[in-house]
Chain A
Amino acid sequence: MARGSSTDMTLEGERSLRRSSHDDMESGLEVMNWGSVLGGSALLAYGMIRRRRFTDLVFAGLGAALAYRGLSNSRLMDRSMKRLIMHTGATHPIEVSTSMTVECPVDEVYAFWRNFENLPRFLGHIASVEELDERHSRWVARLPTGITLSWRAKIIEERENELLTWQSVKGTDIYNEGFVTFEPVADSESTELHARIVYHPPAGQLGARIVSFFDSLQTQIVREDLRSFKRLIETGELPTVQGQPSARGRHGNGRIERMRL
């Protein structure tokens, strides 16, 4: 967790994560679908190399999603093989961090975030968050390909108006952990948010290499989510051009609006 600048609060977040055990990790991963991985990677590479039109970025996004899906869910591979790959992979987590300042006092910002019903409003790829009990929740992500991923998360530590740390638990599609910190900005009514999410790529060194392709896309997703959060709080709505007219046809305008996996 050495990347990025650290405030006192983000250091707290890191400590909080480190204190938690990683015992749950093993079965957090499914086997790989190599067809998906290779096809997706090819599409991703094609999109990233061309990058001339926005459709190429969309290709890249879809490719990344496909590759990711292949990595995270398949019944094709031998279980022992899977375990071998998984354990080597666990040492190469992908870390995504981003920051955003919201023009709103810290208690209101925290309350908005902590209300789980609000989460799908700004977490673009999250279809639903269901609160199971005080500490546990069930998350469902829907990718543009129609693929659904789900996992259960537990709150590791919660400090009102300061810090929220979570970790996904056993038997989920995608192992992740992270924290978000809330800090009032001196002499203002605004709040600084710092989020850090760590994904554990499934397929060892190879997986890390493939996944590093879309590391930047992942960062973009987290950043867009935080931005949406800020915008909802500050303006009450999300800016959009989806559904506006153009000479491309009535609904031809939304395709590059938000890059989502």
Chain B
Amino acid sequence: MKAMCWFGKEDIRVEDVADPEILNPRDAIIEVSLTSICGSDLHLYEGFVPTMERGDILGHEFMGEVVETGHQVDNLSVGDRVVVPFPIACGNCRYCQTDLHALCDNSNPNAWMAEKAFGYSPAGIYGYSHLFGGYAGGQAEYVRVPFADVGPMKVPDELSDEEVLFLSDVFPTGYQAAEVADFEPGATVAVWGCGPVGLFAIKSAYMLGAERVIAIDHVHDRLRRARTDCGAEVLHFEEESVLHSLDEMTGGRGPDVCIEAVGMEAHGAGMVDWYDRAKQTLRLETGRPHALRQAIMACSKGGTIVVPGVFGGVIDKLPMGAAFNKGLTFKMGQTNVHHYMSPLLEHIENDEIDPTFVITHRVPLIEGPAAYAMCQHKEDNCVKVVMTP
């Protein structure tokens, strides 16, 4: 089959590889009908995620048709059309039992490695380095889905692939960011980063009763989308002082909730940006946390910081004093997609949201490598690329 394979920094190729096989009784094989490039895939593309190996198959946002099931999978049949959540979760452990599927105890074969890095191992993730299990990803014609009796959700025929694909990651990720902030109706929410997760976070914040959402980015087209597609007020961080503007916009209080939908490759300005870039290049820090620093400084007293943006290792110069003395609450982590898929599908079915608004490019899988480059460099107003194998 054809699969998108990682070979190194900015070196991604579509290769012919073997078809996946059932390896465990709870596995299924899915024939992928649609897959997409996630912002977090770009961290792999840039080589910022350790433990990638040459030849690894990428992709954790995908959907398709069940073509084979292991003998312990009794809820799926061949021919079922399913969306697959990006964290792999067993459904049995104490974390899965409490809807914290992204923290599954049992799905990461390389848990020992993650324990060295994080203390305890989170769930395995498709196509996201060996630290997260080394699972082959779904940017391919076929993909093996472990614990298929728990993860994949059947989707109704009336909805197109494009309408449901983002239930695999970015829609629940944006939604979880807004939901875990647990804000009161009438709250002001600021969102750093207007990529797909940021845009879904804005929409979700309004769905959950936010009065105002202020979006921050430096790509004009993305700010335009945040304003026109999602109804946010917008700030361009290179053209105006974010801290000053947020203060003015909130009557001197600051936003109640600050969502950091950027992650380890944030863009900043001036000396601090060069400092972080140098340290990240030398691997002295693994992230450039500009947006996170700014969110902490901007957040109102007693407010909440939510981090759906992906971090992997250590970061520098986090204003802990500001966080402590303002009594901030931090919420973060990979998304417990399993928990959100079904309720969010209902929102789509009820026409409350049409997730296709983030799609800017539709390409065949074979053109994926060029699409990665376009995504990374934000060319051609790229926000979200979907690919057909």
Query: A residues engaging B (CB < 8 A)?
Result: 54, 101, 103, 190, 220, 223-224, 227, 230-231, 234-250, 252-253, 256-259
Contacts and interface: CB of A to CB of B under 8 A. Distances in A.
Contacts of A259: 112
B122 to A, nearest CB: 13
A240 B55 contact: no
B372 interface: no
23 contacts: A54-B53, A103-B94, A220-B112, A227-B112, A230-B106, A234-B90, A234-B93, A235-B26, A235-B106, A235-B147, A237-B26, A238-B109, A239-B107, A241-B109, A241-B133, A243-B21, A244-B136, A246-B17, A247-B5, A248-B53, A248-B55, A250-B17, A256-B113
B26 A236 contact: yes
A245 B94 contact: no
Given A234-B90, A247-B15, A239 B146 contact: yes
A234 B104 CA distance: 11
Given A103-B93, A234-B92, A246-B56, 14 more contacts: A103-B94, A234-B106, A235-B106, A235-B147, A237-B72, A239-B146, A241-B23, A243-B21, A246-B55, A247-B15, A248-B54, A253-B134, A256-B110, A256-B134
A101 B106 CA distance: 12
Contacts of A239: 24, 88, 106-109, 124, 133, 146
Given A103-B93, A256-B130, A257-B134, A246 B5 contact: yes
B133 A103 contact: no
A224 B18 contact: no
B91 to A, nearest CB: 8
B19 A245 contact: yes
B1 interface: yes
Contact of A246 (B57, B107, B113): B57
B58 to A, nearest CB: 11
Given A227-B111, A245-B57, A259-B112, A236 B25 contact: yes
A243 B19 CA distance: 10
B25 A237 contact: yes
Nearest to A223: B112
Contacts of A244: 20-21, 23, 135-136, 144
Nearest to B135: A241
A54 B53 CA distance: 10
B136 A246 contact: yes
B92 A224 contact: no
B24 A245 contact: no
B97 interface: yes
Given A227-B111, A240-B23, A246-B17, A234 B135 contact: no
A190 B92 CA distance: 12
A85 B62 CA distance: 61
B136 A241 contact: yes
A261 B21 CA distance: 28
Interface residues of B, number: 47
A236 B147 CA distance: 11
Interface string B1-42: 101010100000101011111011110000000000000000
A245 B23 contact: no
A244 B94 CA distance: 28
A54 B55 contact: no
Contacts of B1: 245
A230 B92 CA distance: 11
Interface string B132-158: 011110000000101100000000000
Contacts of B217: none
B109 A240 contact: yes
Contact of B110 (A230, A234, A257): A257
Contacts of A256: 110, 113, 130, 134
Contacts of B110: 256-257
A235 B124 CA distance: 15
B55 to A, nearest CB: 4
Nearest to A234: B92
A227 B106 CA distance: 8
A234 B21 CA distance: 23
B260 interface: no
Contacts of B13: 247
Contacts of A103: 92-94, 97
Contacts of B92: 103, 234-235
A199 to B, nearest CB: 20
B105 interface: yes
Contacts of B19: 245
Nearest to B136: A244
B50 to A, nearest CB: 10
Contacts of B105: 230-231, 234
A40 B387 CA distance: 49
Among B3, B54, B112, chain A packs the most CB atoms within 10 A around the CB of B112
Contacts of A236: 25-26, 72
Contact of B20 (A220, A223, A245): A245
Contacts of B91: 235
Given A234-B105, A237-B26, A245 B72 contact: no
Contact of B17 (A224, A231, A245): A245
Given A234-B93, A248-B53, A248-B55, A240 B24 contact: yes
A256 B51 CA distance: 10
Among A231, A243, A246, A252, chain B packs the most CB atoms within 10 A around the CB of A246
Interface in B65-116: 72, 88, 90-94, 97, 105-113
Contacts of A241: 23, 109, 133-136
Nearest to A257: B109
Contacts of B18: 245, 250
Contacts of A240: 23-24, 109
A252 B134 CA distance: 12
Nearest to B13: A247
Given A103-B92, A103-B93, A257-B109, A237 B136 contact: no
